[in-house]
Copies of this chain bind each other. A is one copy, B any other.
């Protein structure tokens, strides 16, 4: 099986290197090919997503992605910015389903700013739609007819876009606690009203799942007040961006949490990445926590390569390393990126 490695910018290369070491230690029949993406690709080739990179991503069985984002690119015109590579990969590969688990790892109760008894309850998956919404609608800055500068973006969802992501969320809920909360802003947005209508229609096929609807402002509050109430959250691209980062911080460390971007409930051509960004301020210093990327590799094995046992071996090794006291800086420890990778490798059995 071919895995495309797209390390990207900032701490991306460091954390992807550790995840690769873990994958290689598993004795599976995997081959790896690496390509440039983001600011790194722009600086080398003049474009954040060179054609070779996109071709590799399409050819590979799965993609392990590091991070993109480079402050030296902030003044470039939008199509040349690093983030566009990520958005284009999602769109080109049709990766509409973004799964973002947020769990508190045993032993990390102290890493959360939430009270330990509240944080300990966190165990949810956020299912975020990833190829629609205001991210991909018509957008521009222009001068209006009365001479004012204006920026605009079209937010929208069509029924088929909502239906396919709702199905992913219901299937996920079926395999978990069977509690699904769909988050929208239907009291203000027509996009949300359509979303809510279609989610209700899909619910008819899943009588075993309890569905509720929550406004996004309330959801942001409930994630702080009582995050343990959530099992699966289903939401759109923009609200999912905000809520999943919030939820991950509630769970203690953005350095621990993986994600999967899929084009169907099966994982063909899936892309896996830590939910943290490129963290340019600590890049190249061996300070980053590689666990989120290592756990993303586990999701890759599970969803794209159908290697559930190997996925669980990785997850168990990360847990064991943490229980044994391995901690990077973000977790209040002193281990380097490489040393944390070593700790996970040592715990692999």
A220 at the interface (CB under 8 A from B): yes
A173 proximal to B (CB < 8 A): no
Collect the chain B residues with CB atoms within 8 Å of residue A195's CB.
151
Chain A interfacial residues counted at CB < 8 A: 62
Q: Main SS of chain A's interface residues?
A: helix
Shortest distance from the beta carbon of A65 to any chain B beta carbon, whole Å: 16
- Complex contact B152–A154 (CB within 8 A): yes
Contact partner of A194 (CB less than 8 A), chosen from B150, B155, B220, B241, is B150
- Residues on B with C-beta less than 8 A from A185 are 238, 241
Q: How far is the CB of A161 from chain B (nearest CB, A)?
A: 9
Whether A140 lies near B242 (C-beta < 8 A) is no
Contact bitstring A217-259, B, C-beta under 8 A = 1, else 0: 1101101111000000000001101111110111000100000
Q: Which residue of B lies closest to A113 (CB)?
A: B118
Complex CA distance for A93 and B214, rounded to whole angstroms: 29
A319 interface contact, C-beta 8 A: no
How many Å from the CB of A189 to the closest CB on chain B? 5
Q: Using Cβ atoms and an 8 Å threshold, which residues of chain B touch A83? A: 187-188
Q: Which residues from chain A sit less than 8 Å from chain B, CB to CB? A: 69, 78, 81, 83, 87, 113-115, 118, 134-135, 137, 139-141, 144, 148-160, 185, 187-195, 197-198, 216-218, 220-221, 223-226, 238-239, 241-246, 248-250, 254
